[in-house]
Structure 1
Amino acid sequence: MLDSFWELLWYTLLVFAFVAYLIILFHIIADLFRDRKMSGIIKILWIICLIVLPYITAFVYVIARGSGMAQRQMEAHNAARRDADEYIRQVAGKSSAEQIAEAKSLLDAGTISRAEFEVLKSKALN
């Protein structure tokens, strides 16, 4: 077990450094797979270097490709948001204003009567 306060402090520092490295490692690996411009061989070399010289490779990667990491993460976030918004629009259907405008165009074209327009309008508003 731990015999002194300093051993506990050292152990805590080591655990913190390991967890911080794991977080950085996961970000780096995610960025490697997210980057479409980098070839597969280069990705494999980065992963091998992360295994052989973990901390040095992580620092080099963050220094060399850090700004690109942020940009790729932002692009992935924006793409996910666009996909989610599109899905919500698809599932939710048309808004009340769109339904009323469509019913008005049908009324103007003479396809429906004024009474049918009022029914469609009341359904859209409810």
Structure 2
Amino acid sequence: MSAYPLLNVFLTMLWFFLWVLWIFLVCSVIFDIFRSRDLGGWAKAGWTIFVIVLPLLGVLSYLVARGDKMYARQARDVQARDEQARAFIKDAAGAGTADELAKLVELKQRGAISEAEFERGKTKVLAA
């Protein structure tokens, strides 16, 4: 017979997952404190000390006082990072096919390139 019954295994797993959930919640609150742009430095320091010194009371107080805006701050940061990534990708990719064709048409209209050069450039842009 086992010295550790099945119910004890279940309760140990339950406590372990609750502990992991608690750690995740405390980290989320601390990240939100520093993400918050409407708090000054002293307010951030105060909330952080409160959450670290009295974790249960600090986290619950923070969730009651400022929890309604946590999602909005996180969504704003995710959107800003997405816009930065899209801008970086657009810059890294360079001009699109339509832009390059428009430049070729403009050069041809100004007389900077001949019809044959225009056709070669157009073929090259469309092949890429």
TM-score (norm 1): 0.89
SS in 2 for 1:79: helix
Aligned twin of 2:33: 32
1:110-125 maps to which residues of 2 (within 5 A)? 110-125=111-126
1:1-126 maps to which residues of 2 (within 5 A)? 3-126=4-127
Deviation at 1:9, TM superposition (A): 2.6
Distance 1:61 1:12 in 2: 28
1:2-54 Cα offsets, whole Å, 9 max, x none, are 73333323222221111111111121111111112201111112112212221
Aligned identity (percent) is 33
Distance 2:117 2:88 in 1: 31
Distance 2:29 2:52 in 1: 12
Distance 2:56 2:14 in 1: 15
**Between 27-36 and 59-68, the greater mean CA deviation after superposition:** 59-68
Distance 1:107 1:24 in 2: 62
* Contact 1:50/1:57 (8 A) holds in 2: yes
Structure 2 counterpart of 1:39, which letter?
A: G
Distance 1:8 1:60 in 2: 33
* Contact 1:21/1:55 (8 A) holds in 2: no
SS in 1 for 2:39: coil
* Contact 1:107/1:114 (8 A) holds in 2: yes
Gaps of 5+ in 2: none
Q: Runs (4+) of structure 1 moved beyond 4 Å?
A: none
